[in-house]
Amino acid sequence: MPRGVGVLGAGPGVAALHLPTLMRLPDDFEVVHVADGGSGRAEALAARSQARWSSGDEEVLGDPRVEVVAICSPPELHARQVLAAVAVGKRAIFCEKPLATTVADAVEVIEACRAANVSLLVGTNHLFDAAWGRAKHHLVARGGAVQAVSVTLALPPNGRYHDVVTEGGPFTGPNRGRPDVSRPEVAASVVRQLITGLAVHDLPALRDLAPLLEEVVFARFVAPVGYAVGYIASGVHVRLTTVMVPDGADAIWRMVITTPDDRIEVEFPPAFVHAGSALVSVRADDGRRTVYRRDAEDGYVAEWLVLAAMLDGGEPVEYDELLADAIYGIEVADAAAAAVVEGMSA
């Protein structure tokens, strides 16, 4: 019997990601209610599944058919909406990343979910990608200390990927104008938002490899939109480089892990598409290159299946890990933002 899903949010992540993904899991989930923040966009999205639609949080949270609340709203609303869902007795929550934008909110959210025994999953799809598990297994099996990790993103507009999984676009967020990034505090704010919105996909994996933040070596805004951040954590050299461009080549999203003996590359498919897992390749110390097979299942499908397993009682909710992931992401974002201000003021 599929579980009813109520979606809070009607942006591109709902239209082109979660609704198409949930349609791939009809035995596990059924979208029964979609709510927007007042735009009216939820009506068309709900019609795809013959679901109800509304504006605001109240009707979704009050809908008895909603067993799973999917929080796909702007990041600053996530913590409040998780707490509201817990307060009305909902027992399953899928929350898009980030879980919260401050440490205090993250702690409050986790403690509320833990106390109510809520099945909570944060949508860090890369963490659920089978390829990441394969890369971790290789690291453990080889036993080599990680020397460095880099995550490199070059992202064209998402529209080209929306177009292969849905119709009715373009699906764009609200036009917030062009920020004045010549001002240090504005550049820092943009970098912080980008880290909590994009780098967050891989920060849980980075926390696995380099858990204790020691120092930010550099952080800066990169035109037209992006960031370059370098930090040291648990002795590991970490670099994050992201550029979002208005057009051009296909997206790249690559993590490279360097050990004393080998180099592991994890190449993720573009966002939104269902093209299987990431591709893992290993360049060994003797020059051999091993390429592992892809899995047919991508991280988006995998994360929803994990939530289903939680609801079936077959998968525990790791509240402490979720909290640690959230805090790590916030710490990196805050430290990078501070370094941006320092660098532009030096």
Partner 1 sequence: MTSPPIPVLTDLAAFRVAVAELPESARLAHDARGAVVVVEGAGEWWQAVRDAAASGADAVVVTAPGDAPAGHAAIVELVELSIPVVVSRPHLRVDVAADAVDARGSAIVRAVSVDGAAATDELAFVLRDAIGWMRLLTGGPLELRASHPTKRGVTALLEPHPGGTLGEPEVHSRRAPGAFSADPACTLGVGVLADGVTGAQLRIDVLGETLTEVTIDAVRGPARVVTAAAKGRLVSPPRYETAERLALRRAIAAVRSGEPPSDLNDLLHDVTLAAAMQEAPTAYLRQAQGIA
Please, which residue, 102 or 150, has the CB nearer to partner 1? 150
Please, which residue, 75 or 144, has the CB nearer to partner 1? 144
Please, which residue, 132 or 221, has the CB nearer to partner 1? 221
- 161, 272 in Cβ contact below 8 A? yes
Please, which residue, 260 or 316, has the CB nearer to partner 1? 260
- 164, 273 in Cβ contact below 8 A? yes
Integer Cα distance of 157 and 164 in angstroms: 13
Residue 183 CB, nearest approach to partner 1 (Å): 8
Residue 203 CB, nearest approach to partner 1 (Å): 17
- CA-closest candidate to residue 95, choices 67, 125, 70, 62: 70
Please, which residue, 218 or 319, has the CB nearer to partner 1? 218
Please report the DSSP string for 156-173 in residue order.
--THHHHTTT--S-----
Residue 61 CB, nearest approach to partner 1 (Å): 42
Tokens 């892809």 sit at which residue? 294
Which residues would be at the binding site for partner 1 (CB under 8 A)? 144-145, 147-148, 150, 152, 154, 156, 181-184, 187, 215, 217-218, 220-224, 226, 228, 230, 232, 235-239, 241, 243, 245-250, 252, 256, 258-261, 263, 283, 285-287, 289, 339, 342-346
- 96, 78 in Cβ contact below 8 A? yes
Residue 186 CB, nearest approach to partner 1 (Å): 10
- CA-closest candidate to residue 292, choices 282, 303, 302, 305: 282
Please, which residue, 51 or 344, has the CB nearer to partner 1? 344
- Amino acid at the residue 240: L
Residue 159 CB, nearest approach to partner 1 (Å): 13
Residue 197 CB, nearest approach to partner 1 (Å): 18
Which tokens go with 165?
Answer: 């999984």
